Amino acid sequence: MSTIVDKFRISGGRPLHGRVSISGAKNSALPCMAAALLTPETVTLHNIPYVRDIITQRRLLEDIGATVLTPELRTHKITAAHVELFEAPYELVKTMRASVLALGPLLARFGKAKVSLPGGCAIGTRPIDLHLAGFEKFGAEVKLESGNVVARAPSDGRLRAADIHFNKVTVTGTENVMMAATLARGTTTLHNAAREPEIVDLADLLNKMGARVNGAGSETIQIEGVESLGGAEHTIIPDRIETGTFIVAAALTQGRLEIKDCRPDHLEGVIEKLRSVGVMIKEVNPTTLEVTCPDGLKAGNVTTEPYPGFATDMQAQYMVLMTQAQGRSEIIETVFENRFMHASELQRMGAQIHIDGRSAIVDGPTMLTGARVIASDLRASASLVLAGLIAKDETLIDRVYHIDRGYEKIEAKLRAVGADIERIIAPVMTAPILEPV
């Protein structure tokens, strides 16, 4: 795994040809790992991606007292039989916001939990008020103490089911509250729930553990609370954002990629949009796509939305694509504030992008030129890699630890299909690194 100062060097201009296999979805694996805290029995998860956020989540589970065995690289056997600590410490939460997913399971099973307020990607303020309001509806007392969220169940130690209306669609909020509801007394209904495939995957795991969750994938989810949950075995769904990123890579480089082990039905909104701007995406079979871009790209507007709309996690990659399209595109980001940080780096590579609040206007096509750029968050880093693949001359991307949080061996996968990309591993530092991770 990377150090904080690793870099990517990319020489652009090579079309990508060949086959690439998609890894398990990080955003599904993280809540499923947290769900293992709901039972003293063993939860076995397959197809876990080898990325940094998973290592962080594993450390969190181990700090809490769970044992995590990995008989194979992508299989985790998690047993939370002897939980001694009911908290997620700041050192872990600050690097990964999804650590807050420990809160719901700990509160539901043990009646108490403490989690430091989250950090993660620098994309807007990203509060967790909706998670906390949900726990309060379950009768928990939630307090903020010295930067920590401290939650306690009612005096009998058990949460009470509730009707919860989210006033904004939240993915991890839905997951956290859904996990807590599995052990609550009575039947909970979640309204305006997130509908992402990762929610459905988590619900599938919970039901295998003995929970009674209905309606996951729709905006109303019902959870009938049970006394206890047991062990289960589950395979994590493929990563739809990694899939989308490789579709864009094939189109941008005018190559031909076969993308296998994916679930095209999980990214229909993205595929539809990419087809409408000229990307040829053929479904070879239910888990394989073939991508080419024979007739060039044309401009197309897009607005990010919660699933099944166009994913905000594909916005940065789409922006790079539009720099190569004929005409003017408008990209409107509605899910997060401050999620255009990649734009200034792309401008330094020659892209014509004008940002106005939540709207980005991209004029294309423009020739991109290699530059020294800095990755600012996970998906922004992916967009810089994509830009580097088509830029004239060499691109040097700093702070690739962001990309290592969520893409499994991206440089190895790209190199295997013809990209000229290498990781420059920084020498071991003797002086302390003062920059926060």
Binding positions for ligand UD1, rule: CB under 6 A: 27, 30, 97-98, 124, 126-131, 168, 170-173, 198, 312-313, 335-336
Amino acid (1-letter code) at residue 412: A
Please answer whether residues 285 and 258 qualify as being in contact, where contact means their C-beta atoms are separated by less than 8 angstroms: no
Instruction: Choose between 42 and 172: whose C-beta lies nearer to ligand UD1.
Output: 172
CB of 399 to ligand UD1, least distance (A): 18
CA dist., res. 343 & res. 339, Å (int)? 9
CB of 17 to ligand UD1, least distance (A): 29
Q: Which residues lie below 8 Å from residue 136, measured CB to CB, with a gap of 6+?
A: 142
Which listed residue (32, 121, 262, 293) is catalytic?
121
CB of 136 to ligand UD1, least distance (A): 12
CA dist., res. 369 & res. 22, Å (int)? 29
What Cα–Cα distance (Å) separates residue 267 from each residue in 142, 145, 287? 36, 40, 12
Instruction: Choose between 17 and 165: whose C-beta lies nearer to ligand UD1.
Output: 165
Distance of CA 21 to the CA centre of its chain: 18
CA dist., res. 41 & res. 43, Å (int)? 7
CA dist., res. 92 & res. 125, Å (int)? 18
Instruction: Choose between 242 and 258: whose C-beta lies nearer to ligand UD1.
Output: 242
Neighbour-count burial for 42-65, b at 16+ CB within 10 Å, e otherwise: bbbbebbbebbbbebbbbbbebbe
CB of 11 to ligand UD1, least distance (A): 30
CB of 255 to ligand UD1, least distance (A): 27
Q: Is 32 a catalytic residue?
A: no
Please answer whether residues 249 and 386 qualify as being in contact, where contact means their C-beta atoms are separated by less than 8 angstroms: yes
Instruction: Choose between 45 and 171: whose C-beta lies nearer to ligand UD1.
Output: 171
CB of 102 to ligand UD1, least distance (A): 13
Instruction: Choose between 343 and 368: whose C-beta lies nearer to ligand UD1.
Output: 343
**What value, to the nearest 5°, has the Cα angle with vertex 44 and ends 158 and 216?**
60
Say how many C-beta atoms besides its own lie within 10 A of residue 430's C-beta.
5
Instruction: Choose between 288 and 334: whose C-beta lies nearer to ligand UD1.
Output: 334
Distance of CA 260 to the CA centre of its chain: 20
Which residues are catalytic, by number? 121
